[in-house]
Amino acid sequence: MALRLLSASVFRPYTPVIRNSASLAAIRAYATKKYTAEHEWISVENGVGTIGITDHAQSALGDVVFVETPAVGDNVEKNDAIGAVESVKAASDVCSPVSGEVIDVNGALGDDPTLINASPEEEGWMAKIKISNPEELDTLMDATAYAAHCDAEEH
């Protein structure tokens, strides 16, 4: 009984409470990761999408030896090529999952393209885009749907 009273008085005041679906929507809009069928990912935070290729894609490509990124200031449309990844096995275009303006690129990839192999969905990001049409995100897959997509491709 004493433990129950202690936990109620100590932990409950510090537990965040989300009272309505508008609050949930605000949290979801703050940071969301989506995937394309062509194995690009986009992580969205405050209207800016960070884009790269998925772990599945880098694994299929093999050792990456060169990465081409877009130029800051480029305006891109959804599905436009924004760069390329070359490996010992193949070369592949990277397409933008959304429309918008390129506001940053990962310059570290020029010096160390293997970042894509080592950390494709974190340090190996390619570009950041200020999203001009957030509704385009609705056409992309969440993590569960993307995992199912990858499984279907393998079978």
Report how far apart, in Å, the C-alpha atoms of 144 and of each of 28, 36, 119, 140, 149 are: 16, 12, 20, 12, 9
The domains found in the chain, sorted by start residue, are 31-154 (2.40.50.100)
Q: Which stretch of 2-6, 45-49, 84-88, 147-151 has the lowest confidence by average pLDDT?
A: 2-6
Map residue 65 onto helix, strand or coil: strand
Residue 17 has pLDDT above 50, yes or no: no
pLDDT band at 16 (very low <50, low <70, confident <90, very high): very low
pLDDT at 150: 94
Residue 33: name the closest of 126, 139, 151, 137 by CA. 137
Predicted structure pTM score: 0.79
pLDDT band at 31 (very low <50, low <70, confident <90, very high): low
Mean pLDDT of 2-13: 41
pLDDT at 153: 86
